[in-house]
Structures are given as C-alpha cells and as structure tokens.
Amino acid sequence: MFGSRQRPNLKRPTWIIVLVSLVSIFLIAALVYPPRRSVACSLFSSSGCAMIKEQPYVPSRELTDDETAARVVFREILNSPPVQSKTPKIAFMFLTPGPLPFEKLWDKFFQGHEDRFTVYVHSSKQKPVHVSPYFVGKDIRSEKVGWGKISMVDAERRLLANALTDPDNQQFVLLSDSCVPLHNFEYVYHYLMYTNVSFIDCFIDPGPHGTGRYSEHMLPEVEKKDFRKASQWFSMKRQHAIMVTADNLYYRKFRLYCKPNMDGRNCYSDEHYLPTLFNMIDPNGIANWSVTHVDWSEGKWHPKAYRARDITYELLKNITSIDESIHVTSDGKKTVLVTPCLWNGMKKPCFLFGRKFYPETLDKLLHFFSNYTTI
C-alpha cells in the first residue's frame, strides 16, 4: 500500500549533502543551458543560447508556401550558433546623402580601438571627401535614396550586406550624417556586445501615422494586428542582420504596398518594415527601443535639430541620463507610451548616439566630448 511505504532513514548530514548536490547541479545547468533571453544567456553562453530550441510557431491560419519557407529559414538562422570571432567588432554604417560633417568627432571616438570596429558609408547623392583615415576607402556602392520611399530600406539592406562580409562584425549600427556619439567607445562596445537582443524600436500606434498607414494589400502575410511603427535607427545582432538581408517575402509586401501617396495615405517603409518584421518573427529578440536619441517633442514632421547655441554640458548630460523610451500615439487620445530601457534586466540609460545635430555644432561637441562621454 502507498500509505505504508516507509520513509528512508537518512541522517541529517546525508540530507544536507543531497540538497547541496541538487543545488549545484541546478546552478551548473543554468549556466551551461540558460534560458535564451536570460541574463546568464547573454553573459555566459551566447553559442549555447542559440542552440536552445524554442516552441514551434503555431499560426492562427494556414500559411502560404512562401510563408512556410520563410519561417523555416528564419528559425534555422535563429537556432544556428553565432559565428565565433576572436576579435568581435561593431559595424558602424553611415547612411548619408553626401558629406559627413562629424568625421572629426567620430575619429576621436574611434581612436585606440582599431581592432574592434569597421566603417561603411552609403552616400546617395555626393561621395564625401573624408577627413578621417577611419573613413577613407569605406564607401560602398550606393544608389539614390528618396525620403520615405523603399529606397531607404534598400540602402539599409545594402549596408548590412556589405558589413556581413566581415565575419568578425557582430553588431550593426545604422547612423545618419547628423548622428554623434554620446558615450566613449568602451561604454558603447560593452553595451552592445554583452547583450542578446537587437535594439530595434517597435510600438503600436493606432492613429493615422501608425496602423492608419496599413494596406490590406499586404494580406495574408502581413495582418493589421501585426503592423508596427518605429524609428529607423537601429543596432542589431548578426543573426538579425542576416534575416533582414535574406528576407524577400515581407520586404516585397512593403515595397509594393507601403509608399507615399498610395490609396490616399502616406506609408513610409523605413518606419514600418523592420518593426513589423521582427514583431512577427522574433518579438522577444528585440528591445523595442532605439539606442539613438531623437527629440520629437516639438510635434512636427521632423525632429528637433540642434544648433551650436543649444550645445551645453547640461543638454548632453540630460540626454545621456534618459532611461525611458517615450512614444506618443497619433490618434485623438495622444497616448504617451513609456518603455523602460532594460539592459539585461537592469534599467540603464537608453541612448548611445544622438541626432539631429547641425554641422555648426562640431567644435562645441569636440570641446565637450571627453566630459560628457564619461557621464
């Protein structure tokens, strides 16, 4: 009988030994095979994390053949171990219409870290004359880019493809000609390399500048409930960069049906393609906020642009202290969406880079650089 089974006669020291053994086994297992999104995963076992198999995706409807094929490719990329590099690097990808007015500032940022970064420049109108040796010879084949058009996404994909040719590149940062660093290189390198997510902005905007831009022509692959909005400026890990360059199915939907002045609405692919894609295929793999600060507080079509008179130590200190990402919906409610910036589960300042800065701010930024980047 179950009730008559005798309890083993273990002495107290034996119980302690058994308990300690079980705890030790559990801790070892947690480090060797941590949950894919855990802090331990990010810090101790990046290759092991990638091998952890997730629960299979269960669609709410029957997928098309193209969707099934795309999902298989994406799953294999996510589950494959990352490329192991003895000298992992950050790829800094500059998307510019012409000159890069802050090369001197970036030169100061890069100095002394030559084996830990690469530079790629996509100039859509005029090839820049470079003043920093770190930028010389770094121009890639470029095409014209139209504001709000799919050519902007094409340029991003072109930069990613070129940066992926270097197997040492593990993080990929998209920057504009008006972007500046807000921290020193060591801080940025640690921030990006020692986490297991991509810093891709993503939020739901139910208003006319969000889901109001959605077109039912995107069905069945892209449903309205999955449509997202974001700032285009990102930093993404290598697996996600491969996925973006490999994608044809979802990219084609945005190329055809997300563009200015279509069906009486203006849809801008650079604000919707990436957040929608990753919301659908790897929502837990992105941070849902960007590491590039942009000030939209003026409520205009374009963000605030900083002049030389605006540049003070206090301004830069304030930007580098922000630890929450703020979005405001475009509907009548103007709902304020607040996302805490969590780095490996810890709340930290959100931003590594800032825009938009006028070229006239260069001298002041160079003057303050050593001070504000140590904040």
Q: Give the integer Cα–Cα distance in Å for 56 and 63.
A: 14
Amino acid 298: pLDDT:
73
* Distant-in-sequence, close-in-space partners of 24: CB < 8 Å, separation ≥ 6: none
Does 127 score more than 60 pLDDT? yes
Amino acid 31: pLDDT:
37
Query: Where on the phi/psi map is residue 331: left (φ > 0), alpha (ψ -120 to 50), or beta?
Result: beta
Q: What is the mean pLDDT of residues 156-182?
A: 97
Q: Give the integer Cα–Cα distance in Å for 356 and 293.
A: 9
Does 271 score more than 50 pLDDT? yes
Amino acid 303: pLDDT:
84
Does 38 score more than 70 pLDDT? no
Please give the structure tokens belonging to residue 212: 């109001």
pTM over 0.85: no
- In the three-class reduction of DSSP (H, G, I as helix; E, B as strand; rest coil), residue 349 is classed as coil
Asked if 239 and 254 count as a contact pair (C-beta separation under 8 A), the reply is no
Amino acid 190: pLDDT:
97
Q: Give the integer Cα–Cα distance in Å for 193 and 171.
A: 7
Give the angle subtended at the CA of 227 by the CAs of 97 and 239, to the nearest 5°: 65
Give the angle subtended at the CA of 27 by the CAs of 21 and 33, to the nearest 5°: 130
Give the angle subtended at the CA of 68 by the CAs of 64 and 70, to the nearest 5°: 115
Does 199 score more than 60 pLDDT? yes
Most confidently predicted of 115-119, 147-151, 292-296: 115-119
* Beta-strand relationship, 117-123 and 180-181: unpaired
Judged by average pLDDT, the poorest of 23-37, 109-123, 198-212, 263-277 is 23-37
Output 308 or 57, whichever has higher pLDDT.
308
Q: Give the integer Cα–Cα distance in Å for 110 and 138.
A: 14
Amino acid 60: pLDDT:
72
Does 35 score more than 60 pLDDT? no
Amino acid 306: pLDDT:
96
Amino acid identity of 245? Answer: T
pLDDT tens digits, one per residue of 342-368:
999 999 999 999 999 999 999 999 998
Greatest Cα pair distance, the chain, in angstroms, is 88
Q: What band does 373 get if pLDDT is binned at 50, 70 and 90?
A: low
Q: Give the integer Cα–Cα distance in Å for 123 and 100.
A: 9
Q: Give the integer Cα–Cα distance in Å for 375 and 373.
A: 6
Q: Give the integer Cα–Cα distance in Å for 119 and 93.
A: 6
Amino acid 243: pLDDT:
97
Q: Which residue, 356, 174, 203, 177, is CA-closest to 272?
A: 203
pLDDT tens digits, one per residue of 39-89:
334 333 333 343 334 444 566 788 999 999 999 999 999 998 887 889 999
Does 9 score more than 60 pLDDT? no
Q: What band does 14 get if pLDDT is binned at 50, 70 and 90?
A: very low
Amino acid 212: pLDDT:
96
Percentage, residues of the chain above pLDDT 90: 73
Does 299 score more than 80 pLDDT? no
pLDDT tens digits, one per residue of 323-334:
999 999 999 999
Amino acid 374: pLDDT:
54
Q: What band does 371 get if pLDDT is binned at 50, 70 and 90?
A: low
Please give the structure tokens belonging to residue 10: 């273990």
Angle between helices 103-110 and 362-372 (to 10 degrees): 20
Q: What is the mean pLDDT of residues 251-256?
A: 97
Angstrom CA distances, 309 to 26, 84, 99, stand at 58, 46, 22
Amino acid 317: pLDDT:
92
Q: What is the mean pLDDT of residues 205-224?
A: 96
Burial environment of residue 320 by CB neighbours within 10 A (0 to 12, 13 to 18, 19 or more)? buried
Amino acid 20: pLDDT:
38
Q: How far is CA 276 from the centre of its chain?
A: 13
Does 258 score more than 80 pLDDT? yes
Q: Give the integer Cα–Cα distance in Å for 19 and 76.
A: 39
